[in-house]
Structure 1
Amino acid sequence: MYVTNPNISLPENPDTIVWKYLDLSKFLDLLLSKKLFMSRSDKFEDQYEGTFSEPTFEEIRKLSENNPEFLNYYKSHREKVVVSSWHINEYESFAMWQIFTQNSEGLAIQSTTGRLQKALEAEKKSKQYIGSVKYIDYKKEYIPFDDMFFPFMFKRKSFQYEREIRIISDLSDSQLSINDGVKIDVDIDHLIEKIYIHPKSENWYKKLVIELVSKLGYQIEIEKSDLESDILI
């Protein structure tokens, strides 16, 4: 279920457009299971995920000199936090297609922050929060640690192109088994507003996606990528 946190910022407009770029297998798994995969925070490619900036780490290190468990707790906590990443953008992103899809057979889910909130109402076992990631200089800038979600809502400036909105959940008190991540219940009709097919995909692939979505009983609008538009001379 979606809950708010005053320390986690989110665009005020619920119609703010967000995207998720993924391959066909992950997309079909989402439609078939009606569950959204959330990755364990320490499994991301960014090794700094869920860690603190240098100024903050120095403060925590001093506080933990007489209490080593204090620092160990922060290290182990990354294994209990799960994340689903979305890209905030009014338009499609050529860069996101390149990074998150392969072999010209990817898809992009278009949604809004408001739709994400409604979609999460289907999940009854755990609480989810939604917030915008802040991009900072990890050598100079300070990350507060008075809220356990703060280290997961900051990333290095090198990742600023991601413009990330993330669904995040702390499963520390849950009995769920977390390997690479967990799947949570979502309302697909609220989650997905439109589907965009990879701009470089072939016609057979476009037809396959349309047929699969229809046979699974979904009435989701499927769009041709804007990057595939005809050239006007």
Structure 2
Amino acid sequence: MIIQRYMDLPKFVGLVQTRSLYFAKMSAFEDALEGGLTVDDFFKTSNAPAHIDLAINDIWPRAAETADERASRLKSSKLAQSEVSARQFPTPFGSYPRDDAERLFPACREWIYVSCWHQSEYECAAMWPLYGRDKNSVCIFSTDEQLKEAIAPDASYDSLEIERVKYVCHINDSFSGNSLDPFIAKSKPYAFEREMRVVAWNSDLDLSTLPKNENSGLLLGVDLGQLIQKLVVSPHADPWFKNIVKKLCEDARVSVEVEDSAIRMEPVSDIYQAMSYNQSRKPDA
């Protein structure tokens, strides 16, 4: 599966010089719905609805109820409350009491790290201004398999998954039950991004004892030769920029193809231009 990462020059320089890929923690994302629950999944995760139901139906006195009947009912109610409190909800870090879901579930976003990629065989005009940001920017082409193999093992995580993001309505939709589902989902207005997401976390962490994560993310080492299939230069880049990208790669001893953006192609206007483009066609084109 072909994936792409659009980045400005400082980010690309950082990638090349550190040979590390930046993973942001989920709580740093601007979209507050990322890593959140749908309405249906909140009811499945939190004990609050069950406790409210027990309080309304079992605690208040009933008409014409005898003292013995009330004592028996309250005893049954306490047993039901104990059963409810014993329920747990799953997370990528293990299972925790549902009574603590509203406190602990958001903590997952503090300790799950993400690298976001765009899934497409061709470069995307909309991605350049959104994620390339500066006119002098590049797009890395890779594949999901290359990316996973390129990331070096690290003590910061023991779990790493590459998943296609699911676009959901947080009011009407539900997750499948996989504990990772909320962290590989985004709101439907972002569906145009066609995101592939690399998710890294340490499953041995105990959410109930962890403080707020003071780091904005982490750097994971990568094999650049394995990671980068080719580089495409922004269609808005200055004329000198392509040579800068080539020099950066040469200095880092990364042998990759650096191409101009397809968006920059001039329309075919004469036989010489048509012949020139014909010579550059790939064998399977």
Q: Percent identity?
A: 28
Q: Which residue of 2 aligns with 1:179?
A: 215
8 A Cα contact 1:42 1:78, kept in partner: yes
For structure 1, the 5+ residue unaligned runs are 1-15
What is the deviation of 1:217? 1.6
What is the deviation of 1:71? 2.4
Q: Which residue of 1 aligns with 2:40?
A: 55
For structure 2, the 5+ residue unaligned runs are 52-84, 86-97, 270-285
Is 2:201 aligned against 1:170?
yes
8 A Cα contact 1:195 1:221, kept in partner: yes
SS in 1 for 2:46: helix
Q: Which amino acid aligns with 2:239?
A: N
8 A Cα contact 2:246 2:258, kept in partner: yes
Q: Which amino acid aligns with 2:8?
A: D
What is the deviation of 1:173? 3.0
Give TM-score scaled by structure 1 length: 0.86
Q: Whole-Å Cα distance in 2 between the matches of residues 171 and 202 of structure 1?
A: 42
SS in 1 for 2:148: helix
**Which aligned pairs between 1:64-213 and structure 2 lie closer than 5 A?**
65=51, 66=85, 67-120=98-151, 122-125=152-155, 126=157, 127-144=159-176, 146-171=177-202, 173=204, 179-213=215-249
Q: Which residue of 1 aligns with 2:273?
A: none
8 A Cα contact 2:128 2:234, kept in partner: yes
Is 2:75 aligned against 1:39?
no
Q: Which amino acid aligns with 2:21?
A: L
Q: Whole-Å Cα distance in 2 between the matches of residues 195 and 227 of structure 1?
A: 14
8 A Cα contact 1:38 1:182, kept in partner: yes
Give TM-score scaled by structure 2 length: 0.71
8 A Cα contact 2:47 2:99, kept in partner: no
Is 2:207 aligned against 1:222?
no
8 A Cα contact 1:40 1:178, kept in partner: no
Q: Whole-Å Cα distance in 2 between the matches of residues 139 and 70 of structure 1?
A: 19
Q: Which amino acid aligns with 1:136?
A: V
Q: Whole-Å Cα distance in 2 between the matches of residues 49 and 70 of structure 1?
A: 17
Deviations 1:11-63 (A, max 9, x none): xxxxx110000111111111111111000001112111100112212332346
Equivalent pairs, count: 215
SS in 1 for 2:126: helix
What is the deviation of 1:209? 1.4
